[in-house]
Amino acid sequence: MLLVDKNIKELVSQGKLIVSGYKEENLKGIAYELSVDCVYDSQKNTVLSFELKPGDVVYIKSNEEIELPPQLTARIIERNSVMRMGLKVDGPQYIPGHRTFCFLRVQNISDSVLTISKGFGIAQIVFEELKEIPEQTYDKQHGASFRNEKDFVGVGKYQPEYDKLMKEYKDAKEDLESLKEKIYGNVLTIMGVFVSIFTLVSVNIQAFARETISKNLIATVNLCLLTCIATLLGFVMLIVNKGKKKWFNAVYTVFLILLAASTIILALLKN
């Protein structure tokens, strides 16, 4: 059963429910309107005003500090006007025994730059009466990470779990990048091979069509072409692999040196 404004007002007068930052004018029939105390930017620094570009996500701290009695729970709901502006506000379900300021995630899903400032009515909180009192309220839970949260603690005790998820994400991203690089490398290599074959065939057809050109000169021209093509393909592979494969770089360098040396020696030989 939802609490209405007079129920909320009565509990607050008893020092319960909203224990600091309470303003009676923020009572809205079946909910209480939470207002912004400060905004946490991307570096987790607190600011009193923040411009959200489309797609930006920030966390805000409410002016109000709540403390839930054993028989009550609370949840965050969006304000209709804020939703229509293009702000998406998310918050947790607060369970009995939880004392905390409300830390809400806010995302700008509009196409405009929107400003959040201290005092802005960001969301509403509704309170619900439970059928029974839970056996274990939040204040009795071992290691309750977000109890008495005065300042934003991020993921709290769940940092190792978060780091593990981020590692899995980074590994998957690296695997995808590696696969993409291999595909690009293979495509460029195949294109290079086709261009090389076409060039060599064309040059040789024209060379053999001229009886005055010596075989030594034809071989020299072919070696020059191979050296140029190999150098080009080497640069392509170097760019694709971003210089990560050291063994490939070393082997390919030696190959190019040998190819270039052979070309020079052959060019110096007399017909």
Q: Reply yes or no on whether the pLDDT at 162 is more than 70.
A: no
- CA–CA gap between residue 50 and residue 124 (Å, rounded): 20
CB atoms within 10 A of CB 78: 16
Q: Which residue would you say has higher pLDDT here, 219 or 112?
A: 112
Inter-axis angle of helices 159-209 and 215-241, nearest 10: 170
Residue 131 CB neighbours (<10 A): 6
Q: In this structure, are residues 96 and 138 in contact, taking their beta carbons and an 8 Å threshold?
A: yes
The whole-number pLDDT of residue 226 equals: 72
Q: How confident is the model at residue 74 (pLDDT cuts 50, 70, 90)?
A: very high
Whether 186 has a pLDDT exceeding 60, the answer reads yes
Q: What is the pLDDT of residue 179?
A: 67
Percent of the chain with pLDDT over 90: 48
Looking at residue 199, its pLDDT comes to 63
What confidence score (pLDDT) does residue 113 get? Answer: 97
* pLDDT interval class at 217 (50, 70, 90): low
User: Quick one: average pLDDT of 227-256?
Assistant: 67
Q: What value does the mean pLDDT take over residues 202-219?
A: 61
Higher pLDDT, 94 or 185: 94
Longest pairwise C-alpha distance within the chain: 110
Among 76-90, 135-149, 251-265, which is the least confidently predicted range?
A: 251-265
Residue 235 or residue 112, greater confidence: 112
Res 115: pLDDT: 96
Q: What is the pLDDT of residue 22?
A: 97
Q: Enumerate domains of the chain plus CATH numbers.
A: 5-154 (2.70.40.10), 165-268 (no CATH)
